[in-house]
Chain A
């Protein structure tokens, strides 16, 4: 599974708070980093959680 984040993400960093294994709020670059190009199977559930939880629906499966 691959993830992408749409440009309208508001950089609230909630995905990092909830799923730090998958996301990182990169403050200097003002963007969210996804830690894996291909989400490892054991983290897929967390990735799906983030898709559901995101503040503006900016996280998508690629």
Chain B
């Protein structure tokens, strides 16, 4: 057993944890950061290509606040929404400080706040300037931000422990007074005396019971092999077992809104690799396209031109019978895609080319993927894919009629995306709602203080990142997202509040 004494302990070294750790250190606190995996970075190891930052200007901040609060139907926590928005400008100087590089991708004029293209998310969430973090080699920039943050933290006297999860948080007289951490391999224990703990342990995407109990979905793996209905495990998420949630709740913290950071995804082998941004397979791009989507009754259920709004597609798929949808093309559309190129291309899942869609479907079949279908007739397609035949034929006829009329009588989809389904062979992909991770669960106020059911803070206990981000979106979180910008914004806020609490930073009004 090793005994340590610091001012602040940080649980987790993802975007939220490392930002909080570095910020608290710079205020002059002594800080120890414990990470469960053998390295830093958390979820950003697998992505986070870009980040949103709202200008440090009250006009922009107010417009952004109004857009998000309105989007949540006034159900999100206004303090939490402000904490995020009003702290995002700090992201850029933070990156400068730790030595990470970024580049402006798109500046957002004031009149466009809450409107326009939001890169996979609803327009109301497009509230700030979009930046790319500049990566190394073929990697993504946030991995570098995490590494640089860790280096900065260690170089400035922070104590960083990998492979050493926090297993308990202690209180004395109701106030946080310490933690217990235990090395995964050696079993060595660390008893740490501290004044405050910042819980930044991410989601619970790998805890099936929690997913069922709090989100109501059945977890399934990458191949959908256990017949579940929400894919979680398509990127390594072993450590995401809601450890921080459980400890906060044990100490009397209230449960906050919980949901899925969702999007549409075809399961099974051959669709995506480890790293979503490396062009891996054309089928991943085909599932972005805005043509003809139905449920297993053969009914359309959404304006398909939302297909690049991943969260919307994920949520609408989850509402369908069997929590699944189908994307169907005919051979004319195959030819169109191969010659003209895709209509939609999500900047993360880029294809270098779409040149052999038939070949791709054959390859998927060889790999044992059970979610891609290619048949000569629509009747066969319905049989093979498990779609109600009568429903499919009826709705294809209806859709084809709308295509001929140039007017979508069901969803008013933009006519330019109305492509009929007539000429075989026909292609179908079965698509599910997939979770990058979970959203929320720890209830906090706008100071990132973990609060109990009466809304009173547990002194010394703070939380930031995916584990509390549900508070932004209400309960249940309306189309919740947990992203890198949130993780950083909340990380700053949690560090500010913890340093005020321990008396090394003056409280701001």
Q: Which residues of A contact B (CB under 8 A)?
A: 7-14, 16-18, 25, 27, 30-31, 52-57
What is the predominant secondary structure among interface residues of chain A facing chain B?
Answer: loop
Contact of B137 among A7, A25, A30, A55 (CB under 8 A): A55
Does B236 lie at the interface of the complex (its beta carbon under 8 Å from any beta carbon of A)? yes
Q: A30 to B236, Cβ gap below 8 A? A: yes
Closest A residue to B41 by CB, please name it.
A10
Report how far A30 CA is from B214 CA in the complex, Å: 27
Asked if B3 CB lies within 8 Å of chain A CBs, one says no
Assuming the contacts A9-B39, A56-B147, asked whether A27 and B138 have C-beta atoms less than 8 A apart, the reply is no
Known contacts A7-B162, A9-B39, A17-B274; is-contact A55 B236 (Cβ 8 Å): no
Whether the pair A12, B275 counts as a contact (CB closer than 8 A) is yes
A7-B38 in contact (CB<8A): yes
Contacting residue for A54 out of B139, B238, B273, B274, CB 8 A: B139
Q: Once bound together, how far apart are the Cα atoms of A7 and B147, in whole Å?
A: 11
Size category of the binding interface on chain B: 20 to 34
Within the complex, what minimum Cβ distance (angstroms) separates B52 from chain A? Answer: 22
Which residues of chain A are within 8 angstroms of B136 by Cβ–Cβ distance? 54-57
Q: Tell whether, in the assembled complex, residue B236 and residue A27 are in contact, meaning their CB atoms are under 8 Å apart.
A: yes
The residue in A11, A27, A53 that gathers the most chain B C-beta atoms within 10 A of its C-beta is: A11
A33 to chain B, nearest CB (A): 13
- Closest CB in chain A relative to B212 CB, distance in Å: 23
1/0 per position for B339-360, CB-CB distance to A under 8 A? 0000000000000000000000
Given the known A-B contacts A53-B137, A57-B136, are A10 and B162 also in contact in the complex, defined by CB atoms under 8 Å? no
Residues on B with beta carbons closer than 8 Å to the beta carbon of A13: 236, 273-275
**Of listed A17, A53, A54, A57, residue having the most chain B CB within 10 A:** A17
Task: Decide if B139 touches A30 in the complex (CB within 8 Å).
Answer: no
* In contact, A7 and B39 (Cβ under 8 angstroms): yes
> Do A17 and B280 contact each other (CB < 8 Å), given the known contacts A8-B39, A10-B45?
yes
**In this complex, what residue of A is CB-closest to B274?**
A13
Interface residues of B in 261-277 (CB under 8 A from A): 273-275
Chain A residue at minimum C-beta to C-beta distance from B137: A53
A55 pairs with B135, CB closer than 8 A: yes
Residues in chain A near residue B150, CB distance under 8 A = 8
Q: B140 interface residue, CB < 8 Å from A? A: yes
Q: Are B273 and A12 interface neighbours, CB within 8 A?
A: no
Q: Given A8-B147, A11-B39, A18-B278, output 11 extra A-B contacts at Cβ < 8 Å.
A: A7-B162, A8-B40, A9-B39, A12-B143, A14-B139, A16-B274, A17-B274, A54-B136, A55-B139, A56-B136, A56-B143
Q: Tell me if A10 and B38 are in contact (CB < 8 A).
A: no
Asked if A11 contacts B137 (CB within 8 A), the reply is no
Q: Is the beta-carbon distance between B278 and A14 smaller than 8 angstroms?
A: yes
CB distance from B101 to the nearest CB of A (A): 14
What would 28 A/B residue contacts be, using CB atoms closer than 8 Å?
A7-B162, A8-B39, A8-B40, A10-B39, A10-B41, A10-B44, A11-B39, A11-B236, A12-B45, A12-B275, A13-B273, A13-B275, A14-B278, A16-B274, A17-B273, A17-B275, A17-B278, A25-B274, A27-B238, A53-B137, A53-B139, A54-B136, A55-B45, A55-B137, A55-B139, A56-B139, A56-B143, A57-B136
